Structure 1
Amino acid sequence: MAAARTSLGRVLPGSSILFLCDMQERFRHSIVYFPQIVSVAARMLRVARLLQVPALLTEQYPQGLGPTVPELGAEGLQPVSKTCFSMVPTLQRELDSRPQLQSVLLCGIEAQVCILHTTLDLLERGLQVHIVVDACSSRSQVDRLTALARMRQSGAFLSTSEGLIMQLVRDAAHPKFREIQKIIKEPVPDSGLLGLFQGQNPLF
């Protein structure tokens, strides 16, 4: 009998969804590289809308932590309030209504809390999880990087925003490619990972 094949982690628009986790006002001054990760998440949302990839948005205890920051560009998305660290219990009905779903693209904060808990719950459901590393952060780089390593150990895929965008498009003949090309040509803000990779971080 042939050995089971390891998942390649392919991402297709028709079987993917974008999760945007808790990018709220009260986190603005406590999360490292907050403006940068919100900018990258906004980039992912723009592409998702062009490719008709659905997107879901959560807010952690918005009464105390405030609304989603406007620069995310999430107008038209109805934020779902939660207190659970994982997004999954709150979005259970949405997930159950999408039997074709295979891949979740995950952006937001904090990496070691809500992103990690969401990842583990999604993996437990048998879904592929793609962490947009330049769109996820924490209050400290140690927590952020350790959480990324932990999620990778558990079976999540670590990708950059551009890597995932190009996987979704797949072909320069795609009718939306020109519009998406304009988006990816815009400079991506440094979210503090470049220097860490150049330093050959042992967590990766």
Structure 2
Amino acid sequence: MVLRGRINNPVLFVCDLQEKFRTAIYGFDKCVLTAQKLLKVGQILQIPTYATTQLASKLGPLVPELHPLLVNAKVLDKSLFSMMTPELRARLDEDGDDGEKKSVALVGIESHICVLQTCLDLLAAGHEVYVVADGVSSCNRQEVPVALERMRREGAVVTTSESWMYEVMGDAKISEFRQMVGLVRESKESTTLALQSLL
């Protein structure tokens, strides 16, 4: 069981950030920036990470910006809208001790379809969900606040990337703190852009 800060058994989910959607999704590049930051967090803190593509044979691969950061991640293709495919459910159960419930941070697209259905499935399975609001979007900007409110009502925590990062750390005494603060500084401008665009 992984215990870090205020969040037990953290896991990162990156949903369908594929090149094909770059021009269709509102604020897509800002979602990618936030995903990059959280993938770096995952590397620093050794957080299990899963990424999905939606029908990659038709809709293509994940954006190239993410590839270098997915070396230790499990990347799965799906046709379901939810990331919680049977394969991912099984892999999620394998990560950790004795089927401990996870605290999943969720970024990607679209907020009202794949992100929402992933969130609902995670909650139904007993996991905690942290929807990172500066890392999710949809084709239509107006869908996003409705989806975030629905997920909040269903029991998810709607938060920001930086808030989640510090909650995962929980204590400035952890050995990775300097690396994490360096990442916060390095990503300050992109965090501001994502917050302004997506919230």
Class of the TM-score when normalised by the shorter of the 2 chains: 0.7 to 0.9
Residue 74 of structure 1 and its aligned partner are, at CA, apart by 3.3
Give distance in 2, aligned partners of 1:28 and 1:189: 20
Compare CA radii of gyration and give the structure with the larger one.
1
**2:7 aligned to 7, 11, 30, which one?**
11
TM-score, length-normalised on structure 2? 0.87
16 and 101 in structure 1: CA distance in 2 versus 1, 3 angstrom threshold: farther
Deviations, residues 126-145 of structure 1 (Å, cap 9, x unaligned): 11100011011110111111
Give distance in 2, aligned partners of 1:181 and 1:171: 12
The answer on whether the counterparts of 1:24 and 1:59 sit within 8 Å (CA) in structure 2 is yes
Residue aligning to 1:94: 91
Q: Unaligned stretches of 5+ in structure 2?
A: 1-5
Give distance in 2, aligned partners of 1:93 and 1:153: 27
Residue aligning to 1:81: 77
Residue aligning to 2:56: 62
189 and 31 in structure 1: CA distance in 2 versus 1, 3 angstrom threshold: farther
Residue aligning to 2:3: none
Alignment of 1:137-176 (within 5 A): 137-176=137-176
Residue 102 of structure 1 and its aligned partner are, at CA, apart by 2.5
Residue aligning to 1:3: none
Give distance in 1, aligned partners of 2:7 and 2:78: 27
TM-score, length-normalised on structure 1? 0.85
Deviations, residues 121-178 of structure 1 (Å, cap 9, x unaligned): 0100111100011011110111111111110110100010000000111111111111
Give distance in 1, aligned partners of 2:131 and 2:149: 11
Give distance in 1, aligned partners of 2:70 and 2:10: 20
The answer on whether the counterparts of 2:15 and 2:114 sit within 8 Å (CA) in structure 1 is yes
Matched positions, count? 185
Residue aligning to 1:4: none
Give distance in 2, aligned partners of 1:65 and 1:129: 27
196 and 91 in structure 1: CA distance in 2 versus 1, 3 angstrom threshold: closer
Give distance in 2, aligned partners of 1:71 and 1:189: 19
Give distance in 2, aligned partners of 1:102 and 1:91: 13
Comparing both structures, which one devotes a greater share of its residues to helix?
2
Give distance in 2, aligned partners of 1:16 and 1:75: 17
195 and 79 in structure 1: CA distance in 2 versus 1, 3 angstrom threshold: closer
Identical aligned pairs, as a percentage?
A: 37
Deviations, residues 71-98 of structure 1 (Å, cap 9, x unaligned): 1243413420100001112411112223
Give distance in 1, aligned partners of 2:158 and 2:15: 16
